[in-house]
Structure 1
Amino acid sequence: MCGICGVVGHRPATPIVFEALRRLEYRGYDSAGIATLTADGTIDRRRAAGKLDNLEAVLKADPLTGTTGIGHTRWATHGAPTEANAHPHAAGRVAIVHNGIIENFATLKAELESEGRIFLSDTDSETVAHLVDFYLDQGKAPRDAAFAAIKRLEGAYAIAIIFQGHDGLLIGARHGAPLAVGYGDGEMFLGSDSLALAPLASRITYLDDGDWCELTPGNVIIFNGDGQEVSRPIQNIAFMAGQVGKDGYRHYMEKELHEHPVAIGQTLQRITDPASKTIALPKMPFDPAQVPRVTITACGSAFYAGMVGRYWLESLARVPVEIDVASEMRYRDAPQPDKGVALLISQSGETADTLGVLRSLKKAGQSIVSVLNVEHSTMGRESDLVLGMVAGPEISVASTKAFTAQLSVLAALSIDFARARGTIDKTREETLTASLLDLPSRAAEVFTRVEAIQEMARIVAEARDVLYLGRGICTPIAFEGALKLKEISYIHAEAYAAGELKHGPISLIDRTVPVVAIAPSTILFDKTLSNLQEAKARGGRILAFTDAAGAKRLEGVAEHVVILPDVDAFVAPILYAIPVQILAYEVALLKGTDVDQPRNLAKSVTVE
């Protein structure tokens, strides 16, 4: 996750932008940079690898002038954390800063290179600068050039753009990543969140998904994705002192749910090569082909991610997998094989039980691989290899975007293992990787189904008990859905493999017990359908997440269906995790619970 900001006004831009970057540094600190328009209208910029202190030293040695500027603090995803890959990126008469992922950058880059354009970085973001400048070369005005470029971008992004020779002009755009406009006294600001803007602006507007805007000193014009001028609510920051960082969302959880596409995309961008559709993980400290067994352990949602990982590793790489919750595994003293690999999963990297297992497995001679959102945590420092996800900070107690980021890493790891073990060929690797790279767009589509999920939530909110069912690799997603519902709505919920329904849980079913099914048509659907018919025959109210093909076959069986985008069965668990989390959130809203800080829970469990 990166932080971006911008200003057009009458005061020197650099101090304003730099202080905004200070407040955004939690979003990334691999590099930083600022670009301004100088007195003669040319673009000047300063960049530095590492933390903001490095950029500060550069600016002291070589100051930047001008009253129009943009800034960026980076969490490296595509391309190493070097000065060359640092933002702002410039091309011709354009400089941009970008947070997110441009999924089709390889196609755009190839097109632009064929026009003779030369790229100087390894990032996807530089493509945006070249594309806007390309349209300037076609004779378009800055606003029109920016809109033409924005319409061609696929993925999740927040962007700010300045133009040579156009002092006092700043273009911003967002899709799947937050961006806010701040109103000052004869000044206008852009920022990734209200934390950056609060000391600068008296009022603030949060752009809707697909919006873009044109800022001039003291004024903003906002357009929707069709290029039509629109108005968005203006909020007084004075009334938001306790909500800094929520970016206009009601809760941190709501904000973090909407960050799924960016979290997935940025995580994948770090560990894949989109151009060749291959996995690009760091070199393993062991030979995957020689691994006799993988041992997976974690807690809470991370454990359910590990359950999905087990399916992938066993089915793709044909490697035996042992999995257990960390609180049990650390005391089992189970025998470990020579050359075994232990795979540990944690958002914080500080989870006490998981850290305890790490140490016992390391003592038992296992190679330690950790999937972490905080790579420099205790677990990260004690691991042989860290596979970092790029989910960004999670403030809400209930994990959301970290879960899908964990799954994204595990999917890539499974493909990598399978390639090394010779259990898939190059064509299969490309197909699986392509399905992963398509996920951010499909994840963004899920949010167009929120109204249907809200209708389902009204049914669930009236229940005292809820059953979640899944088959195969979707069974862990049923567990995740039940956990989220319990965590934030306080409704009792249990999840089962659907085939186990007749072995006991079916006795719980009557008209008061909703049955929530995770049922993509591509994964053991006939078996799931049979189980749902059994539940319906006992009076159960069937609520289903499925795709268009599944919805047709559920007619007459399910009382309510949420139709999700079609995806490859390989990535279905990642996609289907999002709506079950949204369902829990919507139910909690109806119940009036404390969504971000549910009772008796803490974000990171650092004690047993």
Structure 2
Amino acid sequence: MCGIVGVIGKKNTTEILMQGLEKLEYRGYDSAGIYVNDQAGHDYLVKRVGRIKNLEAAVDDSIQGTLGIGHTRWATNGKPSVANSHPHISNDERFYLVHNGVITNANELKRQYLLDIEFASETDTEVVVQLIALFAREGLSAKEAFRKALTMVDGSYAFSLVDRLTPDTLFVAKNKSPLLIGKGDGFNVVASDALAMLSETDQFVEMKDEEIVALTQDGIAIETLDGTPVHREAFTVKMEEGDASKGTYPFYMLKEIDEQPIVMRRLVKKYTNDRGEVELPKPLLAALKAADRLYIVAAGTSYHAGLVGKGLFEKLAGVPTEVHLASEFGYNQPLLSEKPLFIFLTQSGETADIRQVLVKVKAQGYPTLTITNVLSSTLAREADYQLGLYAGPEIAVASTKAYTAQVAVEALIAQGLGEAKNHREAEAFDVVHQLGLAAAGQQALIDQKDAIHDWATDLFSQSRNAFFIGRGTDYDVSLEAALKLKEISYVQAEGFAAGELKHGTIALIEQDTPVVAFISDPKTAAHTRSNADEIAARGAKVLRIATESQSSEEDQLVVDDIDPMLAPLLMIIPGQLLAYFTSFDRGYDVDRPRNLAKSVTVE
């Protein structure tokens, strides 16, 4: 995921671009660049590796214009470098392009049309800008060359294009990647997120997939790829709403599912230094090192995130870890170790049964850490230490991005603690790289919404019950996926350890019973696959979801590879989407399921 900004018709374009990129830096920060044109024959291209501050240092007062595009990048095609950073430029130096997304047929297009072109980068984006330039040299206008290229590319994209020969127009297009048009008085802007341009306008126009837009300082011309004009009214984003705006999404839950790749990258930025090393507050790190056992206390989705965290802390940091339901721990405290440290996982920071435990263990003198999405909350204020999830407002009752954020923060803490203890497993693990893989893999799954929607319809449209199975962390995912389905679609769903089915639960399997099998761990993949075959032989309708290295021809959905400890960050995405589409198709209020509230403030 990357961030895009664009401006036309403003004298302070450079300043607006830089401020916008700073607000979008959570989307990517391994390189950044801007292109500015004064529409009078002068233009400037500046690109730098690293965070936005490196670009800021290279942009002086001489770089001014009234048209510009900017980009902040998280590397997908090609390593972080000036050559691979955006904007990309065509060989004839006519076109400049910024891009968010992945073009899946870039290599095929390169081989078919661009064999005689010398490429300056390793990116799929440069393939597109060179293709546009090729079509323009053949006689097409900039807009038509852009349109022709768009009809040929496969994959996800948000593009912003400048033609030096027509610097009074900014061209944009999108498919599966977010992009909004901001409408001003005598100017217009474009951005991946309204947050980047809220200082300039609160009026935004939605862009739909496979549309091409020509922006001038006074006009917005939207067309479909076949040339059909589209008129669309602007909507208002209030300054105080920011990230909490639902925008053009039908439900907050879908928006929050889509935001998860961004959250992964934001957390890496928040918890690592410029050298890419995990950096925890020193007092907290000292307290963690002094503990002989960690006790994770949580509820619901946070409890499931804690189950994943147990494996991370034990493997990466070598510290025994227990996970407890807050509602049980509060009345049935187990025998504790000599030097325990308590970790409270909570999205809202206001969960009543968790606070009961916090008060109880603080009275006993034990150190406490709250990990929450709301650092101003009661649980954050009252704990000895606090760490944020930085997931942005989560409005839907069914938690999605807070779950994956909790797992990611646990991984970052475990890595930092393990390195501080010189634990061998932590020194061999690269959490920053793994979270990068997670973000890319999550986006790839999010881009397959249509296929997942079809599976949701096939599996759950008529069902009153369902099962999710897996082993190890896949069992943890099964619990969370089942919770998502039951809480918003009211299907009786249960997560089971796959090996336990034959110890009783398989008796419930009958013709067309829906079962989702998660298969990611090489140690147990063959066993889980065998369990899936057992229930299929008894009439179940089985959806198999496997990582690429553990996949087989019978699997319907193949997920990118990642370390098995962090596989839940990917495997849960289809689980969330299956629940969302099942609820949506049944006509329910996805964001506000019956009998539930976002913050549980009673025991």
Q: Answer yes or no: same fold by TM over 0.5.
A: yes
Matching residue of 1:69: none
TM-superposed CA distance for 1:453, in Å, is 1.4
Matching residue of 1:236: 233
Offset from partner CA, 1:346-378 (integer Å, 9 cap, x none): 112222222222222222222222222222322
Matching residue of 2:30: none
TM-superposed CA distance for 1:198, in Å, is 13
- The answer on whether the counterparts of 2:5 and 2:191 sit within 8 Å (CA) in structure 1 is yes
TM-superposed CA distance for 1:489, in Å, is 0.7
Matching residue of 2:567: 572
Matching residue of 1:587: 582
Matching residue of 2:205: 204
Q: Is 1:140 the counterpart of 2:140 in the alignment?
A: no
**CA 1:381/1:151 → structure 2, altered by over 3 Å: closer, same or farther?**
farther
Matching residue of 1:449: 448
Matching residue of 2:379: 379
Offset from partner CA, 1:224-275 (integer Å, 9 cap, x none): 9xxx998896532469999993332221111111111111111122223585
Matching residue of 1:434: 433
One-letter amino acid of the structure 2 residue matched with residue 473 of structure 1: T
TM-superposed CA distance for 1:463, in Å, is 0.7
Percent of residue pairs bearing the same amino acid type: 32
RMSD value over aligned CA atoms? 4.8
Matching residue of 1:319: 319
- The answer on whether the counterparts of 1:158 and 1:174 sit within 8 Å (CA) in structure 2 is yes
TM-superposed CA distance for 1:41, in Å, is 11
Matching residue of 1:281: 280
Matching residue of 1:123: none
| CA–CA distance in structure 1, aligned partners of residues 596 and 517 of structure 2 | 27
- The answer on whether the counterparts of 1:194 and 1:246 sit within 8 Å (CA) in structure 2 is no
SS of 2:542 mapped into structure 1 = strand
- The answer on whether the counterparts of 1:89 and 1:97 sit within 8 Å (CA) in structure 2 is no
- The answer on whether the counterparts of 2:4 and 2:98 sit within 8 Å (CA) in structure 1 is no
- The answer on whether the counterparts of 1:547 and 1:566 sit within 8 Å (CA) in structure 2 is yes
| CA–CA distance in structure 2, aligned partners of residues 376 and 168 of structure 1 | 46
- The answer on whether the counterparts of 2:202 and 2:237 sit within 8 Å (CA) in structure 1 is no
- Number of aligned pairs? 529
Q: Is 1:488 the counterpart of 2:441 in the alignment?
A: no
TM-superposed CA distance for 1:512, in Å, is 4.0
- The answer on whether the counterparts of 2:174 and 2:207 sit within 8 Å (CA) in structure 1 is no
TM-score normalised by L of structure 2 = 0.73
- The answer on whether the counterparts of 2:8 and 2:170 sit within 8 Å (CA) in structure 1 is yes
**CA 1:271/1:244 → structure 2, altered by over 3 Å: closer, same or farther?**
closer
| CA–CA distance in structure 1, aligned partners of residues 540 and 384 of structure 2 | 49
Matching residue of 2:546: 546
SS of 1:429 mapped into structure 2 = coil
| CA–CA distance in structure 2, aligned partners of residues 481 and 274 of structure 1 | 36
- The answer on whether the counterparts of 2:345 and 2:370 sit within 8 Å (CA) in structure 1 is yes
Matching residue of 1:462: 462
Between stretches 355-364 and 188-197, larger displacement belongs to: 188-197
Matching residue of 1:59: none
| CA–CA distance in structure 1, aligned partners of residues 357 and 395 of structure 2 | 26
**1:108 counterpart (80, 105, 122):** 80
Matching residue of 2:115: none
**CA 1:589/1:144 → structure 2, altered by over 3 Å: closer, same or farther?**
closer
- The answer on whether the counterparts of 2:96 and 2:163 sit within 8 Å (CA) in structure 1 is no
- The answer on whether the counterparts of 2:99 and 2:125 sit within 8 Å (CA) in structure 1 is no
TM-superposed CA distance for 1:161, in Å, is 10
TM-superposed CA distance for 1:169, in Å, is 6.4
TM-superposed CA distance for 1:514, in Å, is 1.0
Matching residue of 1:513: 513
Alignment of structure 1 residues 63-462 onto 2, 5 Å: 90=59, 93=63, 102-103=74-75, 107-109=79-81, 111=82, 132=87, 140-141=93-94, 143-144=96-97, 178-183=178-183, 187-191=187-191, 204-206=205-207, 208=209, 215-220=215-220, 234-237=231-234, 245-272=245-272, 276=276, 278-283=277-282, 284-424=284-424, 428-430=428-430, 432-458=431-457, 459-462=459-462
Between stretches 254-263 and 530-539, larger displacement belongs to: 530-539
- The answer on whether the counterparts of 1:343 and 1:369 sit within 8 Å (CA) in structure 2 is yes
**CA 1:402/1:299 → structure 2, altered by over 3 Å: closer, same or farther?**
same
- The answer on whether the counterparts of 2:311 and 2:565 sit within 8 Å (CA) in structure 1 is no
Offset from partner CA, 1:67-123 (integer Å, 9 cap, x none): xxxxxxxxxxx97xxx968989847747989797624799535x57xxxxxxxxxxx
Q: Is 1:501 the counterpart of 2:496 in the alignment?
A: no
TM-superposed CA distance for 1:510, in Å, is 0.7
Unaligned runs of 5+ residues in structure 1 are 29-34, 44-77, 113-126
| CA–CA distance in structure 2, aligned partners of residues 599 and 100 of structure 1 | 41
| CA–CA distance in structure 2, aligned partners of residues 597 and 198 of structure 1 | 31
Offset from partner CA, 1:117-173 (integer Å, 9 cap, x none): xxxxxxxxxx96xx54x969x8834635889998569xx998999999999666778
- The answer on whether the counterparts of 2:546 and 2:559 sit within 8 Å (CA) in structure 1 is yes
One-letter amino acid of the structure 2 residue matched with residue 280 of structure 1: E
| CA–CA distance in structure 1, aligned partners of residues 229 and 270 of structure 2 | 34
| CA–CA distance in structure 2, aligned partners of residues 207 and 90 of structure 1 | 33
TM-superposed CA distance for 1:526, in Å, is 1.6
| CA–CA distance in structure 1, aligned partners of residues 546 and 212 of structure 2 | 33
**CA 1:86/1:357 → structure 2, altered by over 3 Å: closer, same or farther?**
farther
SS of 1:375 mapped into structure 2 = coil
**CA 1:561/1:425 → structure 2, altered by over 3 Å: closer, same or farther?**
closer
Offset from partner CA, 1:516-555 (integer Å, 9 cap, x none): 11112535112212222222233222112113454426x3
One-letter amino acid of the structure 1 residue matched with residue 443 of structure 2: A
**1:561 counterpart (556, 564, 567):** 556
SS of 1:500 mapped into structure 2 = helix
SS of 2:411 mapped into structure 1 = helix
Offset from partner CA, 1:383-431 (integer Å, 9 cap, x none): 333222221111211111121111111112222233233332575123x
| CA–CA distance in structure 2, aligned partners of residues 85 and 159 of structure 1 | 24
**CA 1:388/1:169 → structure 2, altered by over 3 Å: closer, same or farther?**
farther
| CA–CA distance in structure 1, aligned partners of residues 576 and 530 of structure 2 | 25
Unaligned runs of 5+ residues in structure 2 are 28-34, 44-49, 101-119, 127-155
TM-superposed CA distance for 1:6, in Å, is 6.4
| CA–CA distance in structure 2, aligned partners of residues 563 and 361 of structure 1 | 44
TM-superposed CA distance for 1:471, in Å, is 0.4
- The answer on whether the counterparts of 2:472 and 2:521 sit within 8 Å (CA) in structure 1 is no
